[in-house]
C-alpha cells in the first residue's frame, strides 16, 4: 500500500490518480499510525514552506515521517514535499524543515526569467542508476511550478539537474529517499514512468 500524506497542502487527487494509473494501491492518510503501516510513502505539496511545516506539526506528523524514512521503506517527496526534507527555507524567515538532508531552500535570484518557474523544462540525468529514472531519457521534459529550490549540502545526492538561470538539483536520491522539485503527476509519460518505477520498488 502506498500512503499519500494529506496535510492540507497537496494536490492529492492528481497524484492519487497518477499512482493508480501505473498500478499503485493508494490510501490517503492523515495519522501517525497510518504512516507507520504503509509500504511506501508519498509526501506531495503545493504552497508555502511555512504553512507546510506548521500543518505537519499540527497533525503531529513530523516525527512519524522521520521514523518512516529511517525505517528504510521507499519515500517520495514531490515539490514542497521535496523542499520539506531540508534543514531550513528562506521562505518564511528561515523556518526549519524535517532535516533529512543538510542544506537550505532558496529563492531564484532576480533575473530576466519569470519567477515562479511555471511550465516544462528539461532534466539532465546525473545518476543513471537511480531506480526512478529507469526508462527515462536524459533531456526529458517535466513540469515545474516553483519559486524556491533546495541547495543540498551534499551535491552527490542530486540525480538530475535543471537549468533555469542557474543549475539546481531538480531531483535527489539517497538510499530509500527520492524527491523531485517537478511534478511527475503532471509530466505526462515521463512522470508516469517515474511513478511506475516507484510503485515497483
> Which residues have a catalytic role annotated?
79, 183, 185
Whole-angstrom Cα distance, residue 194 to residue 78?
12
CB 23, CB 196: distance < 8 Å: yes
Residues 55/57/63/66 CA torsion (nearest 10 deg) = 40
Q: What is the 3-state secondary structure (H, E, C) of 77-136?
A: EECHHHHCCEEEECCCCCEECCCCEEEEEEECCCCCCCCCEEEEEECEECCCCCHHHCCC
Long-range (24+ apart) CB contacts under 8 A made by 165-169 are 165/108, 165/109, 165/111, 165/113, 166/108, 166/109
Cell numbers placing 148 = 524556491
Reduce the DSSP state of residue 30 to 3 states and report it: coil
All cell numbers assigned to 145 = 511550478
Amino acid at each position: 500500500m502506498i500512503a499519500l500524506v494529506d496535510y492540507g497542502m497537496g494536490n492529492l487527487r492528481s497524484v492519487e490518480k497518477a499512482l493508480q494509473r501505473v498500478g499503485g494501491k493508494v490510501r490517503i492518510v492523515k495519522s501517525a499510525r497510518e504512516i507507520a503501516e504503509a509500504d511506501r510513502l508519498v509526501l506531495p505539496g503545493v504552497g508555502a514552506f511555512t504553512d507546510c511545516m506548521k500543518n505537519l506539526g499540527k497533525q503531529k506528523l513530523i516525527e512519524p515521517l522521520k521514523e518512516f524514512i529511517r525505517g528504510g521503506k521507499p519515500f517520495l517527496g514531490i515539490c514542497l514535499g521535496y523542499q520539506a526534507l531540508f534543514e531550513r527555507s528562506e521562505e518564511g524567515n528561515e523556518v526549519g524543515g524535517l532535516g533529512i538532508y543538510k542544506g537550505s531552500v532558496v529563492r531564484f535570484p532576480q533575473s530576466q526569467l519569470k519567477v515562479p518557474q511555471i511550465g516544462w523544462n528539461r532534466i539532465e540525468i546525473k545518476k543513471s542508476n537511480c531506480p526512478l529514472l529507469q526508462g527515462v531519457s536524459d533531456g526529458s521534459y517535466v513540469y515545474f511550478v516553483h519559486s524556491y529550490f533546495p541547495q543540498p549540502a551534499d551535491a552527490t545526492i542530486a540525480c538530475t539537474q535543471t537549468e533555469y538561470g542557474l543549475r539546481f538539483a531538480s531531483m535527489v536520491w539517497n538510499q530509500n529517499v527520492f524527491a523531485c522539485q517537478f511534478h511527475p503527476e503532471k509530466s505526462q509519460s515521463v512522470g508516469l514512468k517515474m511513478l511506475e518505477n516507484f510503485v515497483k520498488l
